[in-house]
């Protein structure tokens, strides 16, 4: 499932084609994705101008000038594509994914300037929610989220406070979106490896210098992943069809049995299962 860097990559890919332009028509080719499409969504967004595209955690937020916001979650296989003047835009120098099957184009936005934006989702685990922008703090998917990893309010003191008294493993605590918004399995594994902290360690023990190392590692791994266009695992592709490169920089995730890359460490990467998810770490240098 796309995590924060992948959704940010999609946002950046869509923004030049959508921001500041008016929606001429919205076509829904089925009644639902994971949930039903918002009632009267096509009518509410037709003729509305897109002011900007934001992201909160793993959610894409499309802001309209009629005081409405469209929240989009990509689920497992959701992706956007952009067509302009009969040319499929593929900027950048990424390796590109195979074209999406048009049978799974469930939502199509016709935008002024000859731009067509398609939402394609074979498994239909994604969803869209339309809400009044002024009531964003009441939206169930957004209201209880913690700070963003690269926000000013995410710091070592904050993390220590959020983890105080928690006996759960730090891996599980970091996946709690109420503690940090947008982190998922891949980037938690990578941040823990970079900070040399065991995923088994109790969350309450992340104090002082450990907390400083961990917050710095979380910030940097997110920056590195965004700069690389995210990670391509199975179905993810950005809005231009590009596949991210960060998976080629994994230090731990998916590297079971391989040598640890930490300087001076002679250990190897192990895999364990925590809360039903694979965790990859080095038992020698992560403590």
Per-residue pLDDT of 194-216, as tens digits, reads 999 999 999 999 999 999 999 99
For residue 76, the model assigns a pLDDT of 85
Look at residue 51 and tell me whether its pLDDT is greater than 50.
yes
pTM of the full predicted structure?
0.88
Q: Which residues are catalytic, by number?
A: 2-3, 58, 277
Count of CB atoms situated within 10 Å of the CB of 68: 17
Residue ranges, comma separated, of all CATH 1.10.8.50 domains in the chain are 156-282
CATH dotted code for 156-282 = 1.10.8.50
What spatial distance separates the first Cα and last Cα of the chain, rounded to whole Å?
28
CA distance 163 to 215: 13
Q: How high does pLDDT run on average in the chain? A: 89
**Residue 83, pLDDT score:** 86
Q: In degrees rounded to 5, what are phi and psi of residue 165?
A: 80, -5
The tens digit of pLDDT for each residue in 235-252 reads 444 454 443 434 547 899
Least reliable range by pLDDT among 4-8, 10-14, 236-240: 236-240
In the chain, CATH 3.20.190.10 sits at 4-138
CATH of domain 4-138: 3.20.190.10
pLDDT at 228: 76
Model confidence at 130: pLDDT above 60 = yes
Contacts of 169 (CB under 8 A, 6+ apart): 199, 200, 201, 202, 203, 274
């Amino acid at each position: 499932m796309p995590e924060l860097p992948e959704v940010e990559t999609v946002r950046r890919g869509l923004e030049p084609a959508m921001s500041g332009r008016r929606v001429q028509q919205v076509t829904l080719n089925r009644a639902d994705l994971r949930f039903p499409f918002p009632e009267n969504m096509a009518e509410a967004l037709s003729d509305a101008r897109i002011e900007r595209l934001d992201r909160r955690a793993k959610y894409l937020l499309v802001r309209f000038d009629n005081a409405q916001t469209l929240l989009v979650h990509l689920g497992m296989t959701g992706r956007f594509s952009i067509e302009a003047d009969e040319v499929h835009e593929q900027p950048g120098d990424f390796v590109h994914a195979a074209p999406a099957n048009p049978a799974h184009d469930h939502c199509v936005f016709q935008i002024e300037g000859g731009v067509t934006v398609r939402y394609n989702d074979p498994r239909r685990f994604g969803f869209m929610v339309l809400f009044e922008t002024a009531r964003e703090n009441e939206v169930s998917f957004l209201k209880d989220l913690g700070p963003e990893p690269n926000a000013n309010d995410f710091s070592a003191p904050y993390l220590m406070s959020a983890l105080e008294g928690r006996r759960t493993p730090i891996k599980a605590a970091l996946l709690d979106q109420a503690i940090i918004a947008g982190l998922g399995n891949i980037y938690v594994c990578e941040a823990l490896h970079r900070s040399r902290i065991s995923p088994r360690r109790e969350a309450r023990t992340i104090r002082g210098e450990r907390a400083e190392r961990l917050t710095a590692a979380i910030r940097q791994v997110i920056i590195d992943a965004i700069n690389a266009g995210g990670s391509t695992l199975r179905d993810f592709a950005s809005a231009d069809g590009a596949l991210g490169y960060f998976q080629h920089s994994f230090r731990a995730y998916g590297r079971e049995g391989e040598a640890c890359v930490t300087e001076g460490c002679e250990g190897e990467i192990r895999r364990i299962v925590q809360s039903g998810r694979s965790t990859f770490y080095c038992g020698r240098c992560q403590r």
